[in-house]
Structure 1
Amino acid sequence: MKEVELQLAGALRQQLEKIPSIEIRSIVAEAELKTNRSMPVQRPDVLAQLCVHDREVTLICEVKELAYPRQIRQAIDTLSVYMARSENRANHENMVGLVAASWLSPESREICAQAGMGWIDLAGNCRIAFDGVFIERETAERPKPAARNYRAVFSPKAGQVLRTLLRDPARAWKVTELAETSDVSLGHVSNVRSALRDREWGIVDNEGLHLTAPDALLDAWRDSYEQVRGKRTSWYSVLHGRQWEEALREELRGPQIEGHAMLGGLSAAQWLAPYMRGNTTTLYADTSVMPQLIDVLKLKPTKSGANVEIIEPDDPAILKERVEIAGAPPVSSPVLTYLDLSRLDDRGREAADHLREKLLKWH
């Protein structure tokens, strides 16, 4: 934290130096304040003493290394308590609270705005307002460590837990049963539970963990989604139309293939929530059944003119979450299908929105 505090103190100075009317008396990080024994032990993480139009102004910053909504509210509470302390009441009107972090998401910035607090981060986002001074800047840039932390909740293992939760968002889950149903370790479930609470997408009560903002969770997952990792190959099949559909239906439901292959992407959406047809059939398949699929579906590898794409996922857990529809081949789950469609072109994203409206609408 000491290094982050010093970096944010420097970032604050850079922003304030842009305003000619501000005289900067001092900007000090808590790490430096603690070395001065004449000062109180409990101090802001970053303290800036300014003079603006002959008026003394104090900026107090609470730094959070993790800056999810839950931590942001804690920072705001800390700032409010500090500003209300008896020794600070006389100067309360001259004090401005700021939440500071390596990176603040738009949701976190909105929480600060609603609480009447400013903010600053190392990516360049800031909002500092006092005495006719107004500095506001937004950037799409994210520091790499912050971006990694932000995406961690959507890792493949975490995704198994999230898809389980999204199948029935209103249900409360105990850690043990959620781990068993999702086929992950207790540690993974605990990490996901903490991440959901930090981001205010879920709560934990006496009944267990349940989602409180499934739509916000799905929005964030869509925006951070990376395609399923695995080997991707292109094929051409001479089978077409009804003959192709019957071969898919019969083969993917057959005793040797069942549970090891399913339709994905637009091919799955065609059965889940029909909107548009793709020119290519997308299949998720376990490596072990590839020889049989190639034989029965009459597939030939090709670099151009492919009408079949097969993805052999590194983590075959998604195959266990397939959906069975009467009269159809097995297909990928609605959540996975939605995420896959969201990575396509405009028409694909329209198909994603249609599927979400039909199958992923919660109240």
Structure 2
Amino acid sequence: MKEIEPQLADALRQQLERIPSLEIQSIDRDWDLRTSPDTPGPRADILARVKMADRDITLICEVKEPGYPRQVRGAIDQLYAYMARYQTRAEADVIVPLVAATWLSPESRNICAEAKMGWLDLAGNCRIAFDGVFIERETTEKPKPVARSFRAVFSPKAGQVLRTLLRDPTHAWKVADLAEAAGVSLGHVSNVRTALRDREWATVDDEGLHLTAPDALLDSWRTSYEPVRGRRSFWYTILHGRQLEDTLLEALNRPDTEEHAMLGGLSAAQWLAPYMRSNMTTLYAATTIMPELIEALKLKPSKSGANVEIIEPDDPAIFKERVDIPGAPPVSSPVLTYLDLSHLDDRGHEAAEHLREKLLKWH
């Protein structure tokens, strides 16, 4: 028995109690749907019987955990089987199928709607419709365990895998090859692969893992994105214009700074997909090369009037994906730059979408 069944049974009762014309007769869990004692059959996770006027209504609820699109499609198939079997018993005038979970994403709810199924989750999302009864509620809230699980697919380690996949979404990856390319363990790749399949952003066949919905993946990542963790400091330099660009080009391409420093944010976007200029130069830099950068760029600490921001990332893996552009300083990858821009102000959002249009189009 699924641990969340009692909570979902209570949630279903609360929704049904909102309709004064309904008389709740019973709400049971793990209900046997056999047509006879000698005939094997499935068991419904939750079965509710209600009366409305002189009509008997049965709600059959299939619980899935987690409630991602792949699991929801499995629940829908199971509900079709339940309905076919239960209708032979002629015990209800109306049979209402429901998919239930701790949390159902908008994508999962859309799948239910297309299949003409209702849904229910513990976050408060609900759609139950039958015989003139219509209950629908949507919320942006997620239960805390679900929110943690949802963000886990975009953790720093998982992000290394996702950025590798997004560099060429058409490429088919074996687990070992993807782990090596992303610089993570086989276990991390396996976890990401499962998460992508559950959300229907990828498929797996004999050739390997195929990313099938890169835009949906990037949209969700943008929504859940947390800026790169690390120490942020602000500085002032007297260098500007072409002099600053030339100094950055030289300083970031020296042997001791290779794979240890790069432009980020709007400063990277200016070279990847120019849209707007910023008075602030943003750099990602390893702590070990900070003294060299401070000297080369003539930096002075500044609490006000700063024109240089330096981020010393906790995870140096992002430097492995830096992009080298002829005649320009090295910059952060298009995906990382896009995500960083998306969390700036409105103008930053515009720059992000401009970069996405130029460099992150796959169809």
What TM-score do you get using the length of structure 1 for normalisation? 0.96
User: Structure 1 residue runs of 4+, over 3 Å off?
Assistant: 37-42, 86-93
Q: CA RMSD in A?
A: 1.9
Aligned counterpart, 2:249: 249
CA positional deviation for 1:89: 6.0
Contact 1:69 1:108 in 2 (8 A): yes
SS in structure 1 at match of 2:25? strand
The CA deviation at 1:316 is 0.4
Alignment check: 8 A CA contact 2:59 2:97 kept: yes
**Identity within the alignment, %:** 74
Q: Which residue of 2 aligns with 1:210?
A: 210
**Distance in 2 of aligned mates of 1:172 and 1:92:** 49
SS across alignment from 1:28: strand
User: 8 Å contact 1:50–1:56 — kept in the other structure?
Assistant: yes
Per the TM alignment, residue 90 of structure 1 is displaced from its structure 2 partner at its CA by: 3.4
Query: 1:333, CA displacement in angstroms?
Result: 0.2
Task: Give the equivalent residue in structure 2 for 1:261.
Answer: 261
Residue number in structure 1 paired with 2:133: 133
Structure with higher helix content: 1
- TM-score, normalised with respect to structure 2: 0.96
Aligned match of 2:333: 333
What pairs with 1:278-357 in structure 2 (closer than 5 Å)?
278-357=278-357
Could you tell me which residue of structure 2 aligns to residue 199 of structure 1? 199
Q: How far did residue 28 of structure 1 move?
A: 1.7
Letter in 2 for 1:290: M
| Equivalent position of 1:225 in the other structure | 225
In the TM superposition, what whole-angstrom CA distance separates every residue of 1:68-90 from its partner, at most 9, and x where no partner exists? 10000001011111111276463
Residue 162 of structure 1 corresponds to: 162
Cα offset for 1:30? 2.3
Unaligned runs of 5+ in 1: none
Query: SS of the counterpart of 2:43?
Result: coil
The answer to whether the 8 A contact 1:161-1:189 is kept is yes
2-structure distance, mates of 1:213, 1:2: 30
Instruction: Check whether the contact 1:2–1:31 (CA below 8 A) recurs between aligned residues.
Output: no
Partner of 2:271: 271
Residue 196 of structure 1 deviates from its aligned partner by 0.7
Query: Which residues of structure 2 form unaligned runs of 5+?
Result: none
Deviation for aligned residue 1:3: 3.2
SS in 2 for 1:119: strand
Displacement of 1:41: 7.2
Amino acid at match of 2:17: E
Shift of 1:243: 1.1
SS state at 1:312 partner: strand
Tell me how far 1:2 sits from its aligned partner.
3.7
Where 1:317 maps in the other structure, the secondary structure is helix
Deviation by residue 1:23-42 (Cα, 9 ceiling, x = unmatched): 00011222999xxx999873
Q: CA deviation at 1:225?
A: 0.5
Deviation digits for residues 93-116 of structure 1 (CA, Å, limit 9, x no counterpart): 621100001111101000000000
CA distance in 1, matches of 2:88, 2:24: 20
Alignment of 1:11-50 (within 5 A): 11-30=11-30, 42-50=42-50
Q: Secondary structure at the match of 2:170?
A: coil
Q: Hey, what's the Cα distance between the residues in 2 that align with 1:347 and 1:56?
A: 57
Q: What is aligned with 1:52?
A: 52
Secondary structure in 2 matching 1:98: strand
Which residue of structure 2 lines up, in the alignment, with residue 176 of structure 1? 176
The aligned counterpart of 1:121 is 121
For residues 319-357 of structure 1, give each alpha carbon's deviation from its aligned partner in whole angstroms, at most 9, with x where no partner exists. 010000010000000000000000011110000000000
